[in-house]
Structure 1
Amino acid sequence: MTQTRDSETAAGTPKREMRLTLKIWRQPNHDAPGKIHTYEVDDISEDMSFLEMLDVLNEQLNAAGEEPIAFDSDCREGICGQCGLMIDGEAHGPEVTTTCQLHMRSFKDGDTITVEPWRADAFPVVKDLVVDRGAFDRIIQQGGYVSVNTGAAPDAHATPVPKDKADRAFDVATCIGCGACVAACPNGSASLFLGAKITHLGELPQGQAERDTRVVNMIGQHDHEGFGGCTNIGECTAACPKGIPLDVISRLNWDLHAALRHGH
């Protein structure tokens, strides 16, 4: 059995370091075939994030004159949603968090870890672990606008919003569009993402004027992009790092049926 190696920190506290085997999907572009490559990486601290571990591997590859692994990241604070990866077959890995907030203490010295891009036809691979999530942007664009007056700041509470609806809108607005719900869904459905966006504005008075056209147009774009249908398996909400609840999909369906009854 491989033993965990310790080193001393500046404070003299034992610090766990790991040696890992990484099986990583490499694909030069969307049209070229891809395959799994195997790498060994060591001196990995348990305090590193998963992306910092990949940074160490890329430094190692650069030093050897090899092409570094392409992967997405931006804020690295669990906010932007850019860092999604399939880690050992799970969206974002073994913890319910974003990949950038997944730390190496969730793994053990000597582990073999498989890293792949999001698995969804609607998210084509750009290179290696990078996928094109522009489909989400196009769905949002189909949502259009809300009819509110602009100009001087309104008085506080000029538009009353019941607290339960305000809380609900704030909760679902935490969706960061990372795509974990799609990657985790066996059908490749974006219904949780779509339901969060529909529910967010549907709960607020400012979102009522375009409510019917919004849901019809966004669902139409969702289907046009090639996302699958929802069969209420629940893997989406289980993988969601922001805890978007499954019942937003019920709200999505309710709004769609209402819009169809209204002739949209």
Structure 2
Amino acid sequence: MTHGATRAGDEQTGKRGMNLTLRIWRQKGPSVKGKMVTYKVTDISPDMSFLEMLDVLNEQLILQGDDPVAFDHDCREGICGMCGVMINGQAHGPQQTTTCQLHMRSFKDGDSIDIEPWRATAFPVIKDLAVDRRAFDRIIQAGGYISVPTGTAPEAHATPVPKADSDAAFDAATCIGCGACVAACPNASSMLFTAAKVTHLGLMPQGQPERNDRVVNMVAQQDLEGFGGCTNIGECSAACPKGISMETISRLNHDLLGALRAGARPKS
């Protein structure tokens, strides 16, 4: 539903829109100093998503001849992980969901809302609220491929997998790489993200041949990217829109220690 349709529905039901004060981080480029700029938006429907509210603001800015606020988004269905901003100091805002799935009914009429980009050295600002998250891509690339035959698929029950392992692997694989874990962590650690990507393969049979090299290389790349160290504060899991458990970090540490004991070393 578009925000225009939402507004029409509010007019029919007599529902009053919200008036909000937005303090938004504006930065024209990576090398330009940014600052918080205040805007007013009016008649915002409680049923709008947070991104639809930003769309309304951008329409207003364009009509005024101003530069619209840049922010990342794609599917707007909570699947792709593209959206993500700090809202009043919380990654994705007050609900444990993606920014695109956060609705304005989570706020009250007259509220002031601070909106900032992900705050991490490894996520440099591109413009305004949009950040460069390619560091995540490089961590995944460091993990390499899995050496499994690509011919006829094996019989489904040829290699039994314990249900506890398959459940844990599927839970870890729900990571959408949005970066909320990094933004929420006081150390800007990417350990929950890296652990999720290591764990979902490490628990499966097809992930075993490269298991040791994968964990060593991905953790090494994580450090090269400038992410902070994990001190088990737990903000990462609390902010994760997919609710990925910190248990995945324990699994990564177990795999890393075992790999190092086996003599695995990161590739140069």
With the length of structure 1 as denominator, give the TM-score of the two structures: 0.95
1:69-218 → structure 2 map (5 Å cutoff)? 69-218=69-218
Match of 2:59, SS state, is helix
Query: What is the identity, as a one-letter code, of the residue corresponding to 1:30?
Result: P
Give, in angstroms, the shift of residue 147 of structure 1: 1.6
Give, in angstroms, the shift of residue 156 of structure 1: 2.1
The answer to whether the Cα contact below 8 Å between 2:122 and 2:225 also exists between their aligned partners in 1 is yes
- Structure 1 CA distance, aligned partners of 2:127 and 2:72? 10
1:3 corresponds to which residue? none
Query: What is the identity, as a one-letter code, of the residue corresponding to 1:172?
Result: A
- Structure 2 CA distance, aligned partners of 1:85 and 1:9? 28
The answer to whether the Cα contact below 8 Å between 2:17 and 2:46 also exists between their aligned partners in 1 is yes
The answer to whether the Cα contact below 8 Å between 1:18 and 1:45 also exists between their aligned partners in 2 is yes
The answer to whether the Cα contact below 8 Å between 2:25 and 2:117 also exists between their aligned partners in 1 is yes
Per mean C-alpha deviation after superposition, the further-off stretch among 189-198 and 11-20 is: 11-20
Query: What is the identity, as a one-letter code, of the residue corresponding to 2:231?
Result: T
1:18-57 → structure 2 map (5 Å cutoff)? 18-57=18-57
The answer to whether the Cα contact below 8 Å between 1:237 and 1:245 also exists between their aligned partners in 2 is yes
The answer to whether the Cα contact below 8 Å between 2:16 and 2:43 also exists between their aligned partners in 1 is no
Give, in angstroms, the shift of residue 13 of structure 1: 3.0
- Structure 2 CA distance, aligned partners of 1:252 and 1:99? 28
Give, in angstroms, the shift of residue 163 of structure 1: 1.3
In 2 relative to 1, CA 158–16 (structure 1 residues): closer, same or farther, beyond 3 Å?
A: farther
Aligned length: 258
Give, in angstroms, the shift of residue 43 of structure 1: 1.4
- Structure 2 CA distance, aligned partners of 1:11 and 1:235? 40
Match of 2:74, SS state, is coil
Unaligned runs of 5+ in 2: 1-6
Give, in angstroms, the shift of residue 12 of structure 1: 4.7
The answer to whether the Cα contact below 8 Å between 2:189 and 2:229 also exists between their aligned partners in 1 is yes
Root mean square deviation of aligned Cα: 1.3
The answer to whether the Cα contact below 8 Å between 1:22 and 1:115 also exists between their aligned partners in 2 is yes
Give, in angstroms, the shift of residue 205 of structure 1: 0.9
- Structure 1 CA distance, aligned partners of 2:188 and 2:11? 48
Identity, % of aligned positions: 71
Match of 1:114, SS state, is strand
In 2 relative to 1, CA 152–223 (structure 1 residues): closer, same or farther, beyond 3 Å?
A: same
- Structure 1 CA distance, aligned partners of 2:84 and 2:227? 17
Residue deviations 1:204-255 (CA, integer Å, cap 9, x gap):
1111110000000000000000000000000000100000001111111111
2:228 corresponds to which residue? 228
Residue deviations 1:12-63 (CA, integer Å, cap 9, x gap):
5342410110000000000000000000011110000000000000000000
- Structure 1 CA distance, aligned partners of 2:156 and 2:200? 20
Query: What is the identity, as a one-letter code, of the residue corresponding to 2:38?
Result: T
With the length of structure 2 as denominator, give the TM-score of the two structures: 0.94
Give, in angstroms, the shift of residue 129 of structure 1: 0.2
The answer to whether the Cα contact below 8 Å between 2:181 and 2:193 also exists between their aligned partners in 1 is yes
- Structure 2 CA distance, aligned partners of 1:247 and 1:28? 39
Match of 2:61, SS state, is helix
Residue deviations 1:51-81 (CA, integer Å, cap 9, x gap):
0000000000000000000000000000000
The answer to whether the Cα contact below 8 Å between 2:10 and 2:16 also exists between their aligned partners in 1 is no
1:241-252 → structure 2 map (5 Å cutoff)? 241-252=241-252
Query: What is the identity, as a one-letter code, of the residue corresponding to 1:87?
Result: I
Match of 1:15, SS state, is coil
